[in-house]
Amino acid sequence: MTKPLKTDLMNTDSLSIEQLAGQRLMVGFEGKRFNPDLKFLIHDLKVGGVILFSQNIETPDQVKKLCEAIQEYARIRNQPPLIIAIDQEGGQVARLKEPFTEFPGNPAMRDINDAIYFAETTAAELNQAGINMNLAPVLDVAPRSMTSIVSERAFGHDPEWVSMLGLAVISHLQQHRIMAVAKHFPGIGRTEADSHIELPSCDHSLSDLKSYDLIPFAESIAQQVAGIMISHVMYPEIDPKWPASLSKQIAHNLLREQMGFSSVSMTDDLDMGAITHHYDIKTAVRQILRAGIDMALICHKGPNIEIAYQEILDGLHRSPDTRARGKASVERIMALKMKYIPI
């Protein structure tokens, strides 16, 4: 039997409606070896990507074998190759520890050469491990005048400085075939609450955000950043009802129409308290579909992954508009896979 070509697997016209649903999910899993849970996620739910955490990591060789097994199983099941993502910001948020190179984090960067060295070293190690997406850089701007939730993760308080270092990281990751994801749109630097626990609010106007928080994101879009992660934060001056990660006004009207972003958008983890304490998973997924956000991130094993898949699938069956937006989302996802994932 002739194996399908990569281009065939990436053609949205050749994908089943189940594949169109599953490609919208990036999910976590348990274990350090390829296992039945991963088989279920890839074959039954047809997920577009997985995310690795410390619980999935033991040694460089083990990570490489795990990633190779994931891609090989997708191949033999005639599924598109998977995005395999990780949070490797350096410093406080870095899943890969020694013998991988450990960095002190964004606040410690002194100049653009530090940013380039971080990106090139990290890209080389991720490539060697079989990881193709880094959920970095953090492009939030953290003011000196407050205790920002990202003060230990942000490049600094000056939007131009954040842009300069962030663009260097994006450029040098992507030059080495690692997809970069700018986060946390439209900026959480002026929040103090932790969205892992509660739903923060940023009460600044859109014009205020444009003059400060949005500057690095606008620059990253011009740099053709592969992905943008949308935050679980309320911006009531823009959308009084929904957090950014569930908001059409922010994810579509602002990010797509006003700022011209044409690549892959994704939510922050839907298992975080900002979402779970206020919305059930079905409501969250329906809003993600309405907002035209490309990928829903669900980082923990559990029923939410399967419920989300079924809700996306039902939405595609139910509404021609949802199906059209969904196909456009998967086309953006496939464009990234074609560009960045070797086969």
Catalytic residue list? 196, 268
Buried b (16+ CB within 10 A) or exposed e, 303-316: ebbbbbbebbbbbb
Q: Which residues contact 212 (CB under 8 A, 6 or more apart)?
A: 141, 159, 187, 190
| Distant-in-sequence, close-in-space partners of 170: CB < 8 Å, separation ≥ 6 | 119, 137, 180, 182, 220, 223, 225
CA–chain centroid gap for 238, Å, is: 22
Integer CA distances (angstroms), 292 to 147, 213, 242, 328, in order: 33, 22, 14, 9
CB 150 within 8 A of CB 221: no
- Between CA 49 and CA 133 the distance in angstroms is 10
182 by DSSP, 3-state: which?
A: strand
Beta bridge partners of 73: none
Looking at residue 315, its amino acid is G
Name the DSSP letter for residue 229. E
